[in-house]
Amino acid sequence: MKKTNQNDTIIAPLTPSVGGSVSLLRISGPKAVSFAEKVFSKKNISQREGGRFFFGNLQDEQGKLIDEVVLLFFKAPNSYTGEDIIEINSHANPFVVDTIFQLFLRLGCRPAEPGEFSKRAFLNGKMDLVQAEAVADLIAAKSQTGVQNSLFHLKGKLSEKIIKIKEKIIQITSFLELDLDFSEEEIDIISAQKASALIDETEQEIAQLLTTYEHGKIITRGIDVLITGRPNVGKSSLMNALLGENRVIVSDTPGTTRDIIHEQTLIQNTQVRFLDSAGIHLTDNSIEAEGIGRAREFFVKADIILLVLDISEEIQREDENLIKLLSGSYKEKTILTVNKTDKTETKQLEKRIKNKLSNTVFVSAKTQENIDLLKEQIIRLASGTQPEKADEILITNQRQFNYLSLTKKALQKAKQSLEQGVGFEFVSLDMRAATNYLSEITGEITTDDLLNNLFSNFCIGK
**The two domains 132-212+397-443 and 224-383 share their CATH topology (first three levels equal):** no
In this prediction, residue 344 carries a pLDDT of: 66
Read off the pLDDT band of 219 (50, 70, 90): confident
pTM: 0.75
The pLDDT of 207-233, averaged and rounded, is 88
**227-286 pLDDT per residue, tens:** 988 888 888 889 999 988 766 544 444 444 444 567 888 888 888 999 887 555 544 444
Coil vs helix vs strand at 91: strand
CATH of domain 132-212+397-443: 1.20.120.430
CB of 152 within 8 A of CB of 393?
A: yes
pLDDT of residue 253: 45
Q: How many CB atoms lie within 10 A of CB 291?
A: 19
- pLDDT tens digits, one per residue of 62-107: 999 999 999 999 999 999 999 999 999 999 999 999 999 999 999 9
Q: pLDDT: is 323 or 25 the higher one?
A: 25
pLDDT averaged over every residue in the chain: 84
Q: What is the DSSP string of 111-136?
A: EPPTTHHHHHHHHTTSS-HHHHHHHH
Fold of 10-120: Gyrase A; domain 2 (3.30.1360)
* pLDDT, greater one: 8 or 192: 8
Residue 142 · residue 382 · CB < 8 Å: no
CA 338 to centroid of chain Cα atoms:
33
The pLDDT value given to residue 284: 46
In this prediction, residue 451 carries a pLDDT of 75
Report the run of H or E that residue 26 belongs to, with start and end: strand 22-28
- Residue 196 CA to residue 419 CA, distance in Å, equals 8
Radius of gyration of the chain, Cα coordinates, nearest whole angstrom: 29
Share of the chain above pLDDT 70, in %: 84
CATH 3.40.50.300 fits 224-383, yes or no: yes
| Number of C-beta neighbours around residue 422 at 10 A | 15
The reported pLDDT for the residue numbered 299 is: 85
Q: How far lies 191's CA from each of 80, 383, 418, 425, 455, in Å? A: 48, 42, 10, 14, 45
pLDDT beyond 90 at 218: no
| 311 Cβ neighbours under 8 A, 6+ residues apart | 338, 339, 340, 341, 343, 344, 349, 352, 353, 362
Give, for 152, the enclosing helix (H) or strand (E). helix 144-154
Q: 269 vs 418, which has greater pLDDT?
A: 418
351-381 confidence digits (pLDDT tens): 666 666 778 899 998 899 999 999 999 988 8
Q: Which amino acid is at 454?
A: L
User: In whole angstroms, what is the distance from residue 202 CA to residue 198 CA?
Assistant: 6
Q: 39 near 18, Cβ under 8 Å?
A: no
Higher pLDDT pick, 81 / 445: 81
pLDDT band at 119 (very low <50, low <70, confident <90, very high): very high
Residue 270 is predicted with a pLDDT of 86
> What residues have CB less than 8 Å from 124, skipping those under 6 apart?
77, 81, 82, 83
Structure confidence at residue 320 (pLDDT):
83
Residue pLDDT, tens place only, 284-295:
444 445 545 555
Q: Name the residue ranges covered by the structural domains of the chain.
A: 10-120, 132-212+397-443, 224-383
Mean pLDDT for the stretch of residues 218-229: 88
pLDDT attached to residue 290 = 52
Are 158 and 393 in contact by the 8 Å Cβ rule? The answer is: yes
Evaluate whether 184 touches 429 at the Cβ level (below 8 Å).
Answer: no
Q: Going by C-beta distance under 8 Å and a sequence separation of 6 or more, which residues neighbour residue 149? A: 137, 141, 216, 219, 220, 393, 394, 396
**Residue 3, pLDDT above cutoff 80:** no
| 169-197 confidence digits (pLDDT tens) | 999 988 888 766 555 555 566 788 898 99
Burial 144-180 (b: 16+ CB within 10 A, else e): ebbbbbbebbbebbbbebbbebbeebeebbebbbebe
The mean per-residue pLDDT over the stretch 196-206 comes to 94
